[in-house]
Amino acid sequence: MSELALVHVAYQAIHQKLLNGTYVPGMLLSESELSGELGMSRTPVRAAVSLLEKEGFVRTLKKKGILVQGIEVGELFDIYDLLLALYSFALDQIDEHQYELDLEALRGHLGDMLEASDNKLNREYYECGLKFMKTLLLAIDNRSILETFDRYKDKMLFFVVAYRSTKGSNRPYTGRKLYAELLDLLTEKNYSEAKKFLKQYKLGSQEELLRHSQSLTLT
């Protein structure tokens, strides 16, 4: 296997463990341990870690190891604002140009979310929510919007999985009700109410983050 291919394998393996909550904020990793786990030399592992560092998931500490980074509350607020802007724009475009939503796909993601919540599968549960929202964005066929969404979705997934895994939640799996109500509004083509609903949910999520701001800053 080429060096470039090994870097890709190492990157994917470490990246998936971050998203699964295996590596959580505050944890120290080492190149030698990662190399042993992956069965490869430290060179491709170091290159993979460098890529993850550029994405903000880890930070290399001289003579200490590789620190799994947390996400500051301020950054989360920025991501929430960005995603809401994307969803609101998509809903406006769907309403104005009568784009067709893939309601069957939306129902499928909601069904998968319900199954994941019943089985307490954190990553799968939150991933289904992101797939639901990406299906909404897919309706307007805007590549730049999809690329922007893809750039930030893993950050959101990493945060919620890591936080729920380490801190728990007073309101676990409440997103089921959100997506079910949102699907009803989209099915009825009530896009203006869908926008209001998403904005209210975002504000509620931000208020919850503020209430738990001390424990939410995972570093």
Instruction: Confirm whether 3-68 and 73-216 share one CATH topology.
Output: no
Instruction: Give the homologous superfamily in CATH for domain 73-216.
Output: GntR ligand-binding domain-like (1.20.120.530)
Q: What pLDDT does residue 218 have?
A: 41
Q: What pLDDT does residue 178 have?
A: 87
CA-nearest of 1, 88, 102, 15 to 50 is 15
Helices 73-97 and 122-138 meet at what angle, rounded to 10? 40
Cα separation, 45 vs 191, in Å, equals 46
Contact present, 185 and 169 (Cβ < 8 Å): no
Cα separation, 203 vs 198, in Å, equals 9
Q: What pLDDT does residue 162 have?
A: 81
Q: What pLDDT does residue 159 have?
A: 85
Q: What pLDDT does residue 166 have?
A: 66
Contact present, 202 and 80 (Cβ < 8 Å): yes
Q: Taking the domains of the chain in order of start, what are their residue ranges?
A: 3-68, 73-216
Residues of the chain with pLDDT below 70 are 165-173, 208-219
Cα separation, 138 vs 142, in Å, equals 7
Q: What pLDDT does residue 216 have?
A: 43
CATH architecture, range 3-68: Orthogonal Bundle (1.10)
Q: What pLDDT does residue 136 have?
A: 97
Q: What pLDDT does residue 91 have?
A: 98
Q: What pLDDT does residue 4 have?
A: 81
